[in-house]
Amino acid sequence: MYEVEVKVAADLNAVAERLEELGAERTGEVVQVDTYYDAPHRDFAETDEALRVRRETEDGDTEARITYKGPLVESESKTREEHETPVEDGETADAVFENLGFEPAATVEKDRRFYRWDGYTVTLDDVSGVGEFVEVETETDEAGVEAAREGAFEVLQELGLDPDDQTRTSYLGLLLGDAS
């Protein structure tokens, strides 16, 4: 399975209005607070890895999960090894990593509103300290990647956005870029 995802900077109020006009289904809203860690024995920026503790709050309930992301194994499809599991207590997960010598490097906080439109998930992300972005994504098999990408571009255009504005940098990358 491949995840096809296109992300552009956008005015979220304008996009939300457009989605309402189109009659897109609003499917949820969450707040995600992600703490990314530096390792004591490796430079994750060089190894292209990430260790994250995420808190996701939906309807007042908060769930924590730990995630390891490995380096890109195939750059065209942006495929990575990823291991993620919910943990009962996020503070304890933080304490385990910090005691092992990992240090909080950056926190990415975003408010995410989800819509469903034309076979795609459209996510309106308000990322603290970074800006507002729209992500259009879907899953497909290998043969369908190109068509899925074209379809995502069409959805962007329907929303009044320009596929040429696409950014491939992660929110963490954008945040650290802003800070440097």
Q: Nearest distance from residue 99's CB to its own copies, in Å?
A: 5
Q: Kindly tell me the number of DSSP H helices and DSSP E strands found in the chain.
A: 5, 8
Q: Measured from the CB of residue 92, what is the shortest distance to its own copies in angstroms?
A: 4
| Euclidean distance between CA atoms 113 and 124, whole angstroms | 5
Which is nearer to its own copies, 22 or 51 (by Cβ)?
A: 51
Q: Quick one: 66 or 159, whose CB is closer to its own copies?
A: 66
The helix or strand, by DSSP H or E, that contains position 68, with its residue range, turns out to be strand 61-74
Catalytic residue set: 36
Pick between residue 11 and residue 103 the one whose CB is nearest to its own copies. 103
Give every CB contact of residue 113 below 8 A, 6+ residues apart in sequence.
12, 16, 26, 28, 29, 123, 124
Q: Answer yes or no: are the C-beta atoms of 78 and 148 closer than 8 Å.
A: no
Closest CB 81 distance from its own copies, rounded Å: 7
List residues near its own copies by CB under 8 A.
39-42, 49, 51, 66-68, 70, 81, 83-89, 92-93, 95-96, 99-101
